[in-house]
């Protein structure tokens, strides 16, 4: 899959091709989504400021998904097992999101797939990709522990939980203009760096490709967003993060470099759990990015500060690893 002898040049090639593809695809896909009336329904119980976003085209995740595939197609790398693993994770989890988005659009309601049906589909995929990961062994890096540790049979349930958790976590993070795409772009930079550290060229190229696609997508998704990624995009990104963590043997590092994903999920769990027992709310609204909106932070401020925290946690993860 190397067009150049220098891995940095290859990474740049993947980044540029996917970035240009994303910039070209945006003006093509967004008007078509608008014409098809694939508009987002906004939860009435959500922040009132979000009601003005009703009708904004959704399924915009197709932009960075297709852009990500462009450099792979040009270099004919689908026969590489690692590439196939990551690509299929993006496709399969994204397909669940696409089905959810499609039902929302057809019904003109924001519920989409029933929660139990979505959970079943995600669980099946999590089992499949956990089992497929055995192709690269059962050893993994553990924070603050030198080297890799062979987890044996524990590896499969670990990855099952990891895929299921990260897929839903990225989905919950996608609640503000540019939030999920910004966080995952930063995480992609981290993946790229770790690819260099571990001498995993495929990780470097795939993360560079996703980075280019996400940066291009941010041109259309930054506040005020012209398009939303929808569950098509957020669940695809969850599959991407999980699969890349597998290739780097770093699933246990996700709560560190993906702290925002973790906090978003934890805030919902705390809010629901406490409310069921006490009928009181810990946060003004969950996920936690809505809490900050309710106390007066604007979307750009929240996305910027969450992004800075992600950068810091990626740096911490790097220093813990080395």
Q: What is the DSSP string of 160-199?
A: HHHHHHHHHHHHHHTTSTTHHHHHHHHHHHHHHHHHHHTT
Average pLDDT, the chain: 90
What is the three-class DSSP state of 56?
coil
Q: Answer yes or no: is pLDDT of 125 > 60.
A: yes
| 45-54, 97-106, 154-163, 193-202: range with lowest mean pLDDT | 45-54
Instruction: Identify the sign of the CA torsion 167, 207, 83, 71.
Output: positive
pLDDT at 170: 97
Q: Answer yes or no: is pLDDT of 72 > 80.
A: yes
Percent of the chain with pLDDT over 90: 75
Separation CA 127–CA 123 (nearest Å): 6
18 within some domain? yes
pLDDT at 144: 87
Mean per-residue pLDDT, 24-38? 89
299 within some domain? no
Mean per-residue pLDDT, 98-127? 85
304 within some domain? no
Separation CA 67–CA 74 (nearest Å): 12
246 within some domain? yes
Q: Which residue range(s) make up the domain with 152?
A: 7-254
| 83-92, 238-247, 262-271, 278-287: range with lowest mean pLDDT | 278-287
298 within some domain? no
The model's pLDDT over 161-209, given as tens digits with 9 standing for 90+, comes to 999 999 999 999 998 999 999 999 999 999 999 999 999 999 999 999 9
236 within some domain? yes
Mean per-residue pLDDT, 46-51? 57
| 37-51, 57-71, 118-132, 248-262: range with lowest mean pLDDT | 37-51
pLDDT at 45: 56
Mean per-residue pLDDT, 15-42? 88
- On whether the CB atoms of residues 43 and 111 are closer than 8 A, the answer is no
Q: Answer yes or no: is pLDDT of 106 > 70.
A: no
218 within some domain? yes
Mean per-residue pLDDT, 14-43? 87
290 within some domain? no
pLDDT at 4: 62
Cis ω for the linkage preceding 52 (within 30 of 0): no
Question: Structurally, how many domains does the chain consist of?
Answer: 1
Q: Answer yes or no: is pLDDT of 49 > 80.
A: no
| 232-236, 247-251, 284-288: range with lowest mean pLDDT | 284-288
Q: Answer yes or no: is pLDDT of 50 > 80.
A: no
pLDDT at 39: 64
């Amino acid at each position: 899959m190397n067009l150049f002898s220098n891995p940095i040049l290859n990474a740049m090639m993947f980044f540029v091709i996917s970035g240009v593809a994303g910039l070209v695809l945006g003006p093509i896909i967004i008007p078509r989504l608008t014409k098809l009336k694939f508009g987002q329904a906004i939860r009435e119980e959500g922040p009132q400021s979000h009601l003005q976003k009703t009708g904004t085209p959704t399924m915009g995740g197709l932009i960075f998904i297709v852009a990500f595939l462009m450099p792979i197609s040009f270099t004919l790398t689908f026969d590489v097992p690692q590439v196939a693993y990551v690509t299929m994770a993006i496709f399969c989890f994204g397909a669940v999101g696409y089905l959810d988005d499609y039902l929302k659009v057809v019904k003109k309601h924001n519920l989409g797939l029933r929660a139990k049906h979505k959970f079943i589909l995600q669980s099946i995929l999590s089992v499949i990709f956990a089992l497929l990961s055995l192709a690269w062994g059962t050893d993994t890096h553990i924070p603050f522990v030198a080297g890799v540790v062979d987890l044996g049979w524990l590896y499969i349930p670990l990855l099952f939980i990891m895929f299921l958790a990260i897929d839903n976590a990225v989905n919950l993070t996608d609640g503000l203009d540019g939030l999920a795409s910004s966080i995952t772009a930063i995480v992609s930079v981290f993946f790229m760096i770790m690819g260099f550290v571990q001498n995993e060229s495929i990780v470097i190229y795939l993360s560079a490709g996703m980075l280019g696609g996400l940066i291009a997508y941010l041109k259309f998704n930054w506040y005020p967003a012209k398009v939303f990624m929808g569950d098509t995009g957020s669940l695809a990104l969850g599959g991407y993060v999980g699969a890349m963590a597998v290739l780097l043997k770093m699933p246990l590092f996700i709560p560190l470099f993906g702290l925002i994903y973790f906090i978003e999920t934890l805030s919902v769990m705390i809010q629901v759990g406490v409310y069921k027992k006490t009928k009181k709310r810990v946060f003004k609204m969950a996920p936690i990015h809505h809490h900050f909106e309710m106390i007066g932070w604007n979307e750009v401020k929240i996305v910027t500060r969450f992004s800075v925290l992600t950068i810091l946690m990626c740096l911490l993860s790097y220093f813990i690893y080395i």
